[in-house]
């Protein structure tokens, strides 16, 4: 089942980010607080 994921804001000036690596695959079970992706910000 799909769930909404909110990208964390890493600083007060961050306006956008890009996911550069996924740590989990579609359909994997994840726990609250578990990292699921790596991203870079502006």
Give the pair of three-digit tokens for residue 15: 């306006």
> What is the Cα–Cα distance from 41 to 26, expressed in whole angstroms?
23
> What is the Cα–Cα distance from 37 to 19, expressed in whole angstroms?
7
What's the predicted TM-score (pTM) here? 0.66
**Better pLDDT: 37 or 11:** 37
pLDDT one-digit tens code per residue, 12-42: 888 888 999 999 999 999 998 899 999 988 7
Residue 17 is predicted with a pLDDT of 86
7 near 18, Cβ under 8 Å?
A: no
């Amino acid at each position: 089942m799909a769930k909404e994921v909110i990208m964390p804001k890493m600083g007060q000036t961050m306006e956008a980010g890009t996911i550069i690596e996924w740590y989990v695959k579609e359909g994997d079970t994840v726990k609250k607080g578990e990292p699921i992706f790596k991203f870079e910000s502006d």
